Amino acid sequence: MDSRSPVGVRDKLRGNDISILAKSFAFCQYCRGKIHARERGGRMKLFIICPDKMVPKKAEPFCKIYDDGYALRFIKHIVDDPGLCIGCGEDCDHCRYSYRIDFSRSLVGVLRLPIELPLFADDTDLYLPPELPEHDVTIAINVHEDLLIDLPELVKAAGSKALVVPSEAPDWVSRGCRRRVIELCKEAGIDVAFPKPFCSLEEKPSHPAINEFIRKFKIGKPRLQIFAHNDEIVNTQVDCSAPCGCTYYVAKNLIGKPITPSINEDFTAKYWHSYPCVASMQMDAELSDTILHRGGYIHYSAVDAAVAELKKRESEED
């Protein structure tokens, strides 16, 4: 298959091939001809930069292996790939479909970088193209730090208004690299965020373009609503999901469960783990905890907030 052809993102995913793009600087585009998404109803255009398909191997001397596991989950969630969430098995009722979260048309491309790179990538032109497709928001997932530092100028030239760099493991982005990228984004006049984990991303006055991204794609720090009768959950609604899609699975499986003080320990933890969360279990010095644990606490807080809002509604109705 010619990776330069405008193949639909979902079609490529079903073939277990997001796109093999790095050295040829080709991009998998969901462009429906040559009509730009921005020209069709003001759609926000998203571009993703991440490692190529992971092949288990030992790194060569003075090199590092980059895993695409989280990037693959994020992309599958963005395009609402039916193979992403399979936890309910034969009992699946396709609960995600009602949310209309297939953003295939908004994903204009994915740049897949080599999975193995030297520890010091001095000549970044070997790995980054001279220009990127026009887009509004750039997501850089597990990108080599030397390449990451070159991104603000590159994505700005493509029209990007925001750069989001999540960390799902402690070694994805160092403090020094983060400071430098923030400085470069400020100079370029684009918003930047470094959520750790990605599901901690939330709206802030300091990054309006990222706020728009959160609202349009309904991803970031989880928010949900719970509806109950006689302290039993009868329905749930996800207003904002973790970028991996976990929140939909958790919310669906809370239906039929009793509302108790231990709802998170008894139910939320079970379904969040079994989705599962794929963040690192390595201790993170900045968090003084693992990133995986932080992702769990974020979902616990979302459920706690939804229960508190439910109680508030019930008291107002009495």
How far is residue 172 CA from its own chain's centroid?
Answer: 14
Q: Phi/psi zone of residue 110: left (φ > 0), alpha (ψ -120 to 50 degrees), beta?
A: beta
CA 307 and chain centroid, separation: 26
CB 45 within 8 A of CB 149: no
Tens digit of pLDDT at every position of the chain (318 positions) = 333 333 344 444 433 343 433 334 445 443 333 333 333 346 899 999 999 998 888 889 999 999 999 999 999 999 999 999 988 888 888 899 999 999 999 999 999 999 999 999 989 999 999 999 999 999 999 999 999 999 999 999 999 999 999 999 999 999 999 999 999 999 999 999 999 999 999 999 999 999 999 999 999 999 999 999 999 999 999 999 999 999 999 999 999 999 999 999 999 999 998 999 999 999 999 999 999 999 999 999 999 999 999 999 999 887
Report the candidate in 133, 96, 124 with the shortest Cα–Cα distance to residue 9: 133
Query: Structural domain boundaries of the chain?
Result: 9-217, 223-317
Paired strand residues for 229:
232
Dihedral angle sign, alpha carbons of residues 165, 171, 175, 177 = negative
Phi and psi for 113 in degrees, rounded to 5? -90, 160
* Predicted TM-score of the model (pTM): 0.87
The set of residues, in sequence order, having a beta carbon less than 8 Å from that of 229 and lying 6+ positions away, is none
